[in-house]
Structure formats: structure tokens, C-alpha cells
Chain A
Amino acid sequence: MNIIVAGLGGQGVIYLTRLLAKAAIIDKHSLMVSESHGMSQRGGSVVSHLKVGGNKAPLIQRGTADLLISLDPDEAVRNLPFLRRGATVLVNSEDGLMQEVSEQITRLEIQVFSLPANRMAIELGSPAVANVIMLGLTTANPLFELNYESILVAIDIIGSNGKELNIKAFEAGFNSGKEKYLEYIYSPSKNSK
């Protein structure tokens, strides 16, 4: 499974990547992770590539990613070319992706699920946990290959401080995800969002 994690410097892309990587190891998958460091972390675009069970080349090729998790809607659009036909986008956004890409999204059968994770994080008490809310949304997705329990163990191991809040955030994302996916599965048109 090829996963792209995108966002802006300071949103916690690297932390979210670490949690996914830890869970993949717990599930005994082979793993390659590539991260942005240094200058790119100062508010600029940040992207991580995770290859779960793939080869060791450090980057995911365009057109081959199965899943894009983005903490910012514009950064999601920037990274769309990494996706294959039929891939899934999970985006932290109030209203999905920008209108300009909707035609392509539909044509390429890309499924987009969005969650207002920033707003939810503030309601939970800290804007910093939007990334963990998005991890919850990811874990609830029926196509996601890593185990729910492994994700929780990962949060437990690298949650350092604020563990309780992280678990709350994860569950909030997970529960909203379950509703969204159910809605999607049972909706006759299977339109995204």
C-alpha cells in the first residue's frame, strides 16, 4: 500500500507519518518512509511517502499511490498526481476539494472524504490534534490495511504527552469516519464527500 501524507509545516505531517509507520511495523509489514526535513518545515508544503510492503526506493511514483491523507485541502490537490485511478483521498477540509478538480476526480473514480478536523480539534481543546483526528478517519476506512489495535498501540508508544487527548481525537476521527463510509457505501450514486 502506497500512502502519501501531505500538509503544511507545523501541522504534524511527520508525527502522523510516524504513527502510521509504527503501526505498519507492529503489523509486521516491510516499510519505507520518506520525509521532508529542514527548510521545508517552516510553514511550507510538507509531504511524506510511505510504502507499506513495497520496494526500498525512497519515493512513491506519480500515478501509483493508493491513499492520500492531507491536512490541508490545497496540499491535497497538489499531491493528486501521485494517485492511481480509483485511489482514496482523506482531507482535512470544511468542504472537500476545490471545484476545479471535481471533473477529474469523478472521471478517475477517486473517492474523496473530508472532515473539518481543524474545527473538531479546537472543540477537543487543541488545534494540534487535527492530524490524529485524520488518522482516526483513515483507520475507519474499510480499505485501510493497518489494524485498528496497532494504530492505538502506536499512539500509546509515541504519544508522549497528551496521550489522552490524542486517543480522544483519534476516536472522534474514527467515529465520524465510520458514519461517512457507511453513508457512502449505502448511497445509490456513490458520489464522494
Chain B
Amino acid sequence: MSELLLGNQAIARGAWEAGVTFASGYPGTPSTEIIETLAARYPETNPRWSANEKVAFEEGMGAAIGGLRVLVTMKHVGLNVAADAFMVFPYAGTNGGFVVISADDPGMHSSQNEQDNRYLARMGKVSVLEPSEAQECRDFVIEAFKLSEQFNAPIMLRTTTRLAHHKGLVEVGQREEVPQREFIPDPKRFSVPIYRHLRRPIVEQTIEALRDYAETSPLNRIENSDNSIGVVTSGISYQYVKEVLPEAGVLRLGMSNPLPPKLLKDFCSRYETVYVIEEGEPFIEEYMRSIGISNLIGKELFGVIGEYSPGRLREALEISKVPTPFTEEITILPRPPMMCVGCGHRTVFATLRQLKTIVAGDIGCYTMGALPPYEAEHTTFAMGASIGTAVGLERAGQDRVIAIIGDATFIHAGIPPLIDAVYNGSKLTLVILDNSATGMTGAQPHPAAGKNALGEDAPKLDLVKLVEATGVEMVEVVDTWQRKDVRRVISKALAHDGPAVVIAQGPCQQLPDMKRRDFLPFVVEEELCTQCDACFKVWCPAITRTEHGFPIINTAECTACTVCAQVCPPEAIRLAEKPFAVKL
């Protein structure tokens, strides 16, 4: 039987078929759909959203040494958060099969950097599988669990955005129920640093055993070996090679760490020149050069920055392009993403713009606060970094600094820096954008949302009590759609002599409950409108102008957030009298 599956759905399917009984992760593009698919279709895998990637990894690690088959998912930078455990786990080795998904984002479609996590895997002595299509996303996950249990080794499966978010027909099978392995408590294996030296040689033995396996593994495959052009490739780049050089002799490395020296040397000896075509860093190429293979052309021709494509390979190889017949430049203004209509972040950023503060931002939809029209976010680095950055900026002499962080990101990595800010006497002003969702990745639930990954009710973290417990004296909750209140409370927090936290509350417009709720939209009554244009200054994308110069609200987009009505001097913006659209 075959199904049309997204790469991420195929990974979820493979994990289910492999008998996974525990799955944890943190939302992050391009990995999010894996846990979502498990939650929607395969609840017997016990999927959960964890507080952050480190927690997800550690829960998975515990479940795996306890004998379960475990899948852990995260985006590339998520593995940085989990790196502490990731680097140490190979010293103990796993018991039940353990597979961690690292979803890398070449081209930075939804990320702050372009890191190639194969290097983290090499550093941690972890084996890496890289599928090249949706079918292999399923197949390789199943294979990864077998390898993990055969070698007692955690395995990384690396995907990239194009692979995670393309769909292909996937032959699927049935779930295999795998008996839980017995957990044998063994301090020499799982505990204290004093025993680590006993494990150190085992780490090397394991990775070398995997290297031997890689020499003959069916994951690494040679095609058309009689052709005159030779290519070594992996991951999605393999598809581009097949499109651009369909006749080339290809060594496709489905396992990119550890790499097989004999296989590589043998393959390269058949050709005068071998192209190494791998998106991202020269991970394979550097290894090949390190073992003395020199008839290579790689990064000097294809580059390290951004995504590969068939067109890019053609250009690099000077193969005649299929030229687009459109010769003249057609300029269309770029349409970057923006905050949704009715997004509760809009009022906060409008206030920050007015207050002319320095804003240390964080990771989430509110990174868009740096863009016009708000231009009220000055730094964005990493999850939870807003608070530490603000503390540092304040120490560097900036006296009007505000840290801004979403509720999910605060729970993920904002709590230790808040504790630290209070502890070390900072006058931190922090705004928590509390929209009860991990918004940017599609409104997944988190501990302060009162729901778990399966959509069941879950204990709701009390953010106010949590912040109070850190010793912050001024904690105020404000309705994020009340402009005046938002401005008043943030100004008060800035003036407060000591750390102050504002929690701007209002649910994310992407939450299903918000989308499906019944409400009346707002409309402009032209008889009352004086064309003062105050409503345009709330920058709502649903407000445009009629040919007679009046504002008009797109009632299909309106979320009834009330912000435009709040600023209208003649009160010409009113609730409509009847519902407008049939809800789908």
C-alpha cells in the first residue's frame, strides 16, 4: 500500500512501524510535523511536546535506557539546546533503539543560522543517516532503529527543509510490536564521571564498528559505475544530481557518519575527477581529503551557502541550463511574512515603537517586530536570549531596554535568565507575549496552554506565580488588545525601580478555538467617518481604502480584535450587525 506523505509524515510513519512507544520533541521548522503526525495518527507512540529540546532528548534517553524504542525530534538549532546530553549519551550507549531527528534548514527559511549538524554528530561520535526522498524517510527510520539496537548506539537521522517538506508516494507496512528490553541498573555504564574512562574506549569501538558496517551497508549505494563522470553525494542533493547528471556514476551515501574509507577510495579510483555534491558544509569532502583522496572537486565549485538546486548545479558545471524564457527582469515587491490580522503582538510592538526603547527580542513570530511598520526589535539570537541580552545591554549603559519573549520561548529557555537577572540585581523590564501557543510553528500547545500534544487537558503552568517565585516584585497581566492598558503597564514597568514583568495576554489567532469561534466583524460607517486616517495607523492588513478615500475593513479577515475601533475618534468603526462569512 502506498500513501502520499510529507517527508516528516513518512518519518512518523516509519517510527510507528518500527514499534516506537515513546516520542518527544519541541516544535521547530522543519521538524514540527513529525510529532504532530504521531499525535494525530499514531497515538500508540506516546508523542509529547516537551518543554525544550534538552528535556525532550533526556526524556527520550531515559525511556531508551529503560528499554523502549524512542524517537526524539527537533530542528537543527534545537540540537544545540540538547547538545549536553547528546554528547554524553554515546558514552553510555542505548538499550532500546534511540533515533534523534535533526531537521536542518539550509537557506534559513525559518531559522537564524545555517548550521550543518553532521559536525555535531561527528563531534559526539554519533552515526548519521541521510534519506534522499520521502520513501527513504520511512525506510531509514526503520533501519535506524535496527542499527541503534544492533550497536547500542543512538542514531541521528538528518533531514533538510526540502526533504522534510516535500511529498512523495511512500510504500508503507504494518507496525511491528517490539518487546521492551530489560533495564539493568549499571552505575559503571550510566553514572558518575569517575567511571567515564571505562566507557571512553567503547565509544571508539562503537563508531569504528559502524564504520565497518558503512563499508557494505545497503544505505550507501553505487549507481552507473561504468560512466565517465563520478559523483559522491548525499541527502536531497542526490535528487539534483539525478536530474542534472542522470548518467553519472554515483556513490550515494545514505549514511554520512561514520564514512567508509575503503568504499570511498575504491569509488574515486575509477574516475579521473570526482564531484562531491553535498548541500551545506564540506562534511564528506573534508573526510575524503583527510584520507588522501585528492581527485575531487567540491565546495570550490558548488559553494557552502544556501540551498542547492538543479539550476545551481547546472550553472556550476557549466551544463547548458534549461533557460527560463522570461528574459526581462520582472520586479515584484517581495511579500515577507507578517503578523496575522488581529495578532496580539501588534499592540505591544506599536507601543514599543512609540516608547523608543531598545528591544532585545527572542525567537517566535515576534521576530517580525524588527520589520516595518514597527521596527521595534533590535536583537534576535537564540531561544531565551532576549533576557540575558537585555541584562547585558543594561550593564553596557543602555537605560531603556526591554526584553520581549513569547510564552513558549519563555518556558523553553527564559526561566534561568530571569532567575539570574533578579539574582544579580538587574533592573530588567520583560514583556511576555502570552498567546497560549507555540505560534510560529503552527500554534502547538505548551505547558502554559493547558493542553498536551494529543489535545487532551493538561495541568496549566501559572506564569504569574512562576515569575513571582523568582523574586520579581512588579508582575502585571494586561489584555494585549487594550492599547491604552498595554502602553500604561509597559511604561510603568520601564519606570519601575527593579525587575518588572508584563504579561500581555490574548490567544493566538491561529489556535483552532480562535479560528472557529463565532463573532461579528467590525465595519466602517462612512456617514460617521471623517477620514482622519487614525485607523490606518494601527497597521492592520485588513484595513484598506475605498476609491472615495474611506477606510474599509475586509470583514473576511477581521478578527474583531477591536484595536481599530479603539482609535477611531468619531467612533465610526462598529460591530457588524450580522455574521459575514460561512465558516469552513
Contact = CB atoms under 8 A, between A and B. Distances in A.
Interface of A: 8-9, 21-22, 25, 30-45, 55-59, 61-64, 74-75, 77-78, 80-85, 100-101, 104, 108, 122, 125-129, 161-162, 165
A85 B242 CA distance: 24
Interface of B: 4, 6, 29-30, 32-33, 109-110, 133, 162-163, 165-169, 236, 239-240, 242-243, 309-311, 321-328, 330, 332-340, 365, 368, 440-442, 541, 556, 581-584
A83 B325 contact: yes
Contacts of A34: 162, 165-167
Residue from A9, A59, A85 whose CB has the most chain B CB atoms within 10 Å: A59
A27 B12 CA distance: 26
A64 B322 CA distance: 8
Residue from B30, B166, B310, B365 whose CB has the most chain A CB atoms within 10 Å: B166
A43 B311 contact: no
A62 B324 contact: yes
Contact of A55 (B239, B322, B365): B239
Given A43-B340, A44-B337, A104-B326, A162 B584 contact: yes
B165 A81 contact: no
Given A25-B4, A81-B324, A161 B109 contact: no
Contacts of A21: 4, 167
Contact of B165 (A36, A64, A75, A128): A36
Contacts, number: 154
B323 to A, nearest CB: 6
Contacts of A122: 556
B556 A81 contact: no
B335 A55 contact: no
Contacts of A33: 4, 166-168
Nearest to B8: A37
A58 to B, nearest CB: 4
B4 A165 contact: no
A81 B239 contact: no
Nearest to B160: A58
A129 B583 CA distance: 10
15 contacts: A8-B335, A25-B4, A31-B169, A33-B168, A37-B29, A39-B29, A39-B337, A43-B335, A44-B337, A45-B334, A56-B242, A83-B326, A125-B581, A128-B581, A162-B582
Given A61-B322, A100-B330, A35 B168 contact: no
Contacts of B236: 58
- Please classify the interface of chain A as helix (H, G, I), strand (E, B), loop, or mixed, using the class held by over half of its residues: mixed
A166 B181 CA distance: 50
Given A33-B4, A41-B337, A128-B584, A55 B242 contact: yes
A9 B309 CA distance: 24
A68 to B, nearest CB: 12
A37 B165 contact: yes
A126 B236 CA distance: 40
Contacts of A100: 330
Nearest to B3: A25
Contact of B322 (A25, A36, A62): A62
A95 to B, nearest CB: 15
Given A9-B337, A31-B169, 12 more contacts: A25-B169, A37-B29, A37-B30, A37-B32, A45-B335, A55-B243, A64-B322, A74-B335, A81-B326, A83-B325, A125-B581, A126-B581
Given A33-B167, A39-B440, A165 B162 contact: no
A151 B583 CA distance: 22
Contacts of B337: 9, 39-44
A38 B440 contact: yes
A80 B337 CA distance: 21
A24 B282 CA distance: 38
A126 B583 CA distance: 7
Contacts of A63: 321-326
A36 B335 CA distance: 14
Residue from A38, A82, A84 whose CB has the most chain B CB atoms within 10 Å: A38
